[in-house]
Every structure is written in C-alpha cells, then in structure tokens.
A and B are shown apart, each in its own frame.
Chain A
Amino acid sequence: MIDFIVRRLIAIIPVLTVVAVLVFLMLRLTPGDPAAVIAGDNATSDQIADIRTKLGLNEPIWTQFVIWIGNMLQGNFGESFFFKKTVGELIAQRIEPTLALAVCTLIFAVSISVPIGVLAAYRQGSVLDRVVMGFSVVGFSVPGFVIGYCLIYVFAIELGWLPVQGYIRIGVNFWGFLERMILPSLTLSVGFIALISRITRASVLEVLNEDYIRTARAKGLSNRVVLMRHALRNAAVPILTVIGLGIAILIGGAVVTESVFGLPGLGRLTVEAVLSRDFPTIQAVILMFSVVYVVVNLLIDISYTLFDPRIRY
C-alpha cells in the first residue's frame, strides 16, 4: 500500500509539469495584455509599455517560464499583477468559501443521491424509480445558473427565507454561514445528485442480481441488511469512482455558482483573474486545482480497499 501511495505521489510530478507548461503557454499565447488592462482606458501606448516592462512581461517567454517554475519550486507563487498581494495570500483568503461550498455540496449530494439511487434500484420500474431517473435527466441537463436563479427567486425573493447572495465566514457567524451556504450548495449539488443517483442505481441493480444476494436473502436477512451491507458495499467502487471524477464537475460548477451567489471563492478568483489576464494568479489556481483533483482521486483509489477487500495495492 505504501509503495502504491508513493508511486502515485511521484506520478503527480509529470502530471503537474505538463499542466504547468500548458497553462503557462496557453496564457502567453492567448490574446490579452495585463499591462493594457491595468493601465486603463485613458493610457497611452508608452504608458502601457512602461507597465509591461515593470511586470517583466517583456522578458522572453522561456525566461519568464524558468523564473516562474523556479519560484514555484521554492513555494513562491508570485505576486498578483492587480491585487497588491502574493498569490499565496489571495488563495488563502479565497479557499474557505470554495472548500465550504465543496464540502456542503458533497454532503448534500451524497446524502441524497445514494439513498435514492439504492431505493430506485430496489424498486426498479416503480414510480419512485421513474421519478429518480426523470430527475437525473433534468438535473443533469439544466445549467447550474438556471437552477441557482430559480432557487433565489423562490427562496430569497418570494419567500424571503434565505439571503440572495454573499458569504459570512464560519468563524464569524455560524448561522449566517449556513444561511448563505444552503442555496449555492443546493444549486451545485443538483447535477451531482443526478450523476451519483444514476450510477448508484445501476451499480446496485447489477449487484442485486448476483448469487450472493440471493444467498443472503435465502439466509433470511432483512432487506435493509441485504441492501446496506451486501448490495451497497459491493456497489461502492463505481460510486466512489464517480464521486472522484465529479470533483472536476464540482470545480467547474464552483466557478459559475460562486459568481451567481457572490461567493468570494477560488472559482470567482479564477474568473476575475482570467478576465483581467492576471497570469500569476491563473497559473497558481489552475495548478492548485490539478493537485486537488489528483490527490482526491488518489484518496478515492485508497478508499476502494475499505469497501472491497479483493482490491490490494
């Protein structure tokens, strides 16, 4: 197991190298000059050129890359072109809302989708099954921002139960934090629920037709025990895989959801950085998302061993 983990961690290095090179090159080759954005609408060409020089953007592209990689290896993500802050500080400031959104979404999604997926499989062909499948199609097809606006209209504007937007840090006011997390997490979890419930249904259905399930029933075990201990546990591997892959959906969804609900997280930071061509920030955030994605999937791989003793690394 330790060997496996070490091997997987070492494998992260080439992945991140490829990501770093691609992100760096894509940003430099995409039209858009941060100096022109900084200088504003009334600046002259000479003023923009002066700012470009001060930002080091006149250096050859490979020099810029070597400097950036060198700094990254020393844990220095550089300084944002716009905010008078290091990118590390910016990420530290913005990580809490994104983390909170991701955790709440995962809790919402898993706690809803797995039970309804199992029930849909157990009652295959029933009204419940059709409703769950219908929901999964709709949930997966409707864009997150549409769901977000609908929820805001109903729960914030018409009913007045929840705030429209904003974020309160968990340490400042817990209830304020919760109030502001409900709608964004619901919005982001709809697609996730659709995906996980469908996979759960399919996996559990497959397992329910296995001989050992028939044996368990023949032994007189209750439906609950059969479903939870035998069927769900054996169906867990594909479900966990989908949850791991869904982290990418979560990251993509966070960008939209944070913008709609005014959450000051990493998703919005990414959008702002892309729109203003804040190269150091974009590079660091994308690299960080890549690390998160790879590490989460490593953890998922490790967790397989907990559910399926046949899997050994």
Chain B
Amino acid sequence: MKHIMRRTLGAMAAGAVLAAAGPVLAQSKTLKVVQHGNLTILDPVWTTAYVTRNHGYLIYDTLFAADGDYVAKPQMVDKYTVSPDKTVWTFTLRDGLEWHDGKPVTSEDCIASLQRWGKRDAMGTKLMDFVKEFKAVDGKTFQMILKEPYGLVLDTLAKPSSHVPFMMPKAVAETDAFKQFGVYTGSGPFIYQATESKPGERHVYLKNPKYKPRAEAPSGLAGGKVAKVDRVEIIEMPDPQQQVNALITGEIDIIEAPPHDLLPVLKKDKNIALDDWNPLGHVFVIRFNHLVKPFDNAKIRLAALYAINQEDYLKATVGDPAYYKVCGAAFICGTPNASTKGTEELLIKSNFEKSKALLKEAGYDGTPVVLMQSTTLPILTNTAPVTKALLEKGGFKVDMQSMDWQTLVTRRTKKDAPSAGGWNVFHTYSVSADALNPISNSYFVANGEKSSWFGWPNDPEMEKLRDAYAKETDPAKAKALAEAVQLRALETAQFGWIGQWYGPGARRTNVTGWLKAPVPVFWNIEKK
C-alpha cells in the first residue's frame, strides 16, 4: 500500500515537475538550512541577532577574518602595513572585488562601512576611540590613522561574531547606524534574492558567480570562501520537533542547532550526522544588578559566587557531559587568553559556609533577591531554578520570577529597585567567540551607567586594566593583562561565567564540508 501510494504520489509529482521544471531541476544543488531562529532583520549592524550575523556572512565579506586558530588573517585585504610608531595602518584591497551589482569595491565603501559599524559594536566603538581619521589613498588603498597605538586593530577587524564589521557599498553604509537599511548588496559568496525571499517562509541566496575566493584553503572564517552549491535556502521552521522530522525525511539538509533532548533521535538515523561546527561553543553568564541592594555590595555578590558552581548549571540545562565543559577561564578554555587563575575556590565548586559567612559579614538583611527566569529560551530555562537552589543553600532568600525572554530583556534595562519593577539577578549566554578578550566580552565593561552592560558595574580599576589590554601590542603582555582582568572581575564579583556548552549541528550525510568556525557558514559545503 505504501509503495502504491508513493507511486501515485510520484506520478502526481512528475506532473508537477513538468509544470515547474526550473526550480525542481535546480533543487539538487540547493542547500536547505534551518537556523536556530527566524531571520527578520537583514541589517547586521542594526541588530546583534545571530541569525542576522549568519545572513551577513552569506552576502557580505570582511576585511580580515579569524582562522581556525582564532588568528586574524586578511580576507578582502590583499596586503597591509603598519607604521613603525604603530599609528598608521594602510590596507590595500584585493584585485577584482565587486559588489553584487557589478560595481567595484572601493576604499570609500570600506571606510563608510567601518564608521557605521563603529557606532554600534562594543569593540568597534573602542577602536573608534583610538581612530584619529580614515584616509582613502586611492580606489583600493585606505589608511586608518590612530591617535596612539592600539593592540587590537586586526582582532577588531576580524571580529567573528556580532556585530561583525561587514563591508557594504558606501550608499548603504551611510544609513544612520540606528536605522535599518533596505538594500542588501554585498560582495560575498552568495547574493540575496529579495524578490524570492519571503520572511517567515524562506530566504533565498544564489551563488555569486563573480566572487573571487582567496587562494588559501578555508580555515575558520578565513581562507577561500568557495560556494559549492548553487543556491542556499534558509527555511523558517519554528518547531524543533518538526525540524528534526524534516531532516529525517530529507526535506531539509541542515539544522544549525537542534535541541539537546532531540539529539538521541538524530543519532539513531544513519542518514544523519552530527557536526560540532562550533568547537568554542557557548558560555552561560550570571549577571548581578550593581545599582540596587543587595548586589550593590561586592561582598554579597562574592557570597553568591561562592554559592554557585558550574556543573550544577550544565547538568540541569545540557545534561549530557559530552556537550558541556566545566571551565574556569572567563575568556574560554582552549583560546589564547584562557586562564583558570582565581577560580580554584570560585565558580567550580560551591562553598555554602563561606557564602553564609560573607553574607553575615556584609550585613545581609534577608531581603529576597529578585531572580528573573526566562521560560521561552529552553537552554536558559533551568538556569534560574539552579541559582535559586544554590543561593538559598548559601544563605540568600530568593524570589524567582518567571517571564518570557522578551519581557526579561525589557525588564533588565530598568535601573530601579525590584519593588519598582527592577531586578537583582538574571542569566544569559553568548557564543564563546564574543567572549575571547576583555574588549569583545561586553560583560567586563565596568564604567557604570555610561556604557556597561545590564547590571551597570562601575569599577575604574577594571577599566584601567581593559584600556591597558587594548593598548598592549605584545601578545604575552596582553595575555597577562587578560588574566588580571579576570582576577579583578572575580575580586569584585562583577559577574559569573557559569559553564561552557556545545550544541552540534545536524546534517544529512550527503552534505559535506561544513567548516569548523564560531559561526555557521555555508560556503565550502557540498551536496551530493
């Protein structure tokens, strides 16, 4: 019966093929991908949404890119020089770079792109603090002239995750950085098909036939970006169970991030392979509100850090030890700035007695701390109950309030006391690629209400260390400064990094070449 029905449907489908031969014939080289969320915003400077960043990597290119060892390598840039006093950086673009509309990529385009991005990105704004001016030397060469040496020029230009310094045509890049643009012309390996794309349904990208990949082999986000499929379709499919069903039946080729609880189902299917495309993974964070009681008191924050431990969070959220790592390094284990110094007593194991002693010393009056729990991001949902249990064992009283993530991200902007709609503590996570140094890792910013991330820590000593790190051009000294930043953050209990976790992607086995990088990229992928 099954076969008869299949044959009947097959015959019906044959008619459909005749009716719509074009799209179906092209299907063999079409890569169908489901991402972790819906792609709604297409301006990667306007938002930090990771799906928008992924869209950016498909259609735009970058001046530099981080390779597999997280080292900045030229991408659109052919060669670059730096003056002996390290204040004049001269960049020359590769030959033959073209926008999707056929116009050449120019120095003016790159300068305008950097300026717009520099108004929104944390690392970008820091770099712009050091930039005296940009100068277009000729159509392919431009200079970035600094007020004083800055140690992170290349790391900043090769920033792998949101916001990524993507290059755009000058006319697009001149859009107000706080307004969304509506023209999607890049110079990257794929061309966005605005007319064919339907938000909420699918986004379509065609291979850019004029793209000139670098000659080097691909490594991380660097090297040759060779598009090996004719077409990429980002399919919008909100339900994780349906994503898995569609992968099993071959209706889609890749799921970027299937939830951990569905991995056993995928592992059982011989036509599906799991790929750990992001070896750095993600990192959980616990964030305190430094402006209101009781976490305006460093001793009480420290008491909280003594009460918690990473493994409890990771077991409750990820479960399978194959997909998490207990790691004391704030700048991510296995990366150049990694150090576990200072975490021998903190974050790794709970010390409830020490927590209680600190609370007594600090005069904690037993006022419940308001802990915000997000119930709509599955990976975060269980973090808050763990915190509640651990803090209570450590002597705190905790009022856990559940809400959807959108409510949480709104409420966390409030600086008032919890009784007036504010908050004391919440959890979030970031891709580890955003946390690799004290400048890109925005949780370390400590200049109070001026530009610190939510919780608004204010610690001039931390800012001095971050500035020193930014200016340091010797990698060994920079690493020592990163370690000092980590120690300072622990000393003041600025926030807590509470474990690294990994989420493999899933692909059909006829799809190969998924690169290991901090971001899912779709060049180099072949479909047989």
Contacts and interface: CB of A to CB of B under 8 A. Distances in A.
A277 B406 contact: yes
A7 B449 CA distance: 58
A47 interface: yes
Given A33-B413, A156-B249, A54 B178 contact: yes
Interface string A31-49: 1110011111111111110
Nearest to A145: B239
Contact of B16 (A51, A164, A176, A260): A176
Interface string B237-256: 11101100110110100000
B49 interface: yes
B413 A36 contact: yes
Contact of A275 (B180, B200, B376): B376
A32 B406 contact: yes
Interface stretch (A16-24, A130-138, A167-175): A167-175
Interface string A131-162: 00000000000000000010010001101110
B237 A165 contact: yes
Contact of B20 (A32, A85, A164, A172): A172
A82 B176 CA distance: 16
A164 B43 CA distance: 31
Interface residues of B, number: 68
Interface string B208-244: 0000000000000000000000000001111101100
A68 to B, nearest CB: 20
Q: For this complex, into which size category does the number of interface residues on chain A fall?
A: 35 or more
Contact of A47 (B5, B9, B120, B237): B120
Contact of B251 (A163, A172, A276): A163
A165 B47 contact: no
Contacts of B410: 31-33, 36-37, 277
A276 B39 CA distance: 12
A175 B200 contact: no
Given A54-B178, A83-B199, A175-B13, A166 B48 contact: no
Interface stretch (A223-231, A264-272, A282-290): A264-272
Contacts of B179: 54
Given A41-B48, A260-B242, 11 more contacts: A36-B412, A37-B410, A44-B451, A51-B178, A83-B41, A84-B180, A161-B6, A262-B235, A268-B238, A271-B238, A272-B40
Interface of B: 2, 5-6, 9, 12-13, 15-16, 19-20, 23, 38, 40-43, 46-49, 120, 122, 162-163, 176, 178-182, 198-201, 235-239, 241-242, 245-246, 248-249, 251, 376, 403-404, 406-407, 409-413, 415, 428, 430, 434, 442, 449-454, 456
Closest 9 CB pairs of A and B: A40-B48, A264-B201, A33-B410, A82-B40, A31-B407, A164-B245, A264-B200, A175-B16, A36-B409
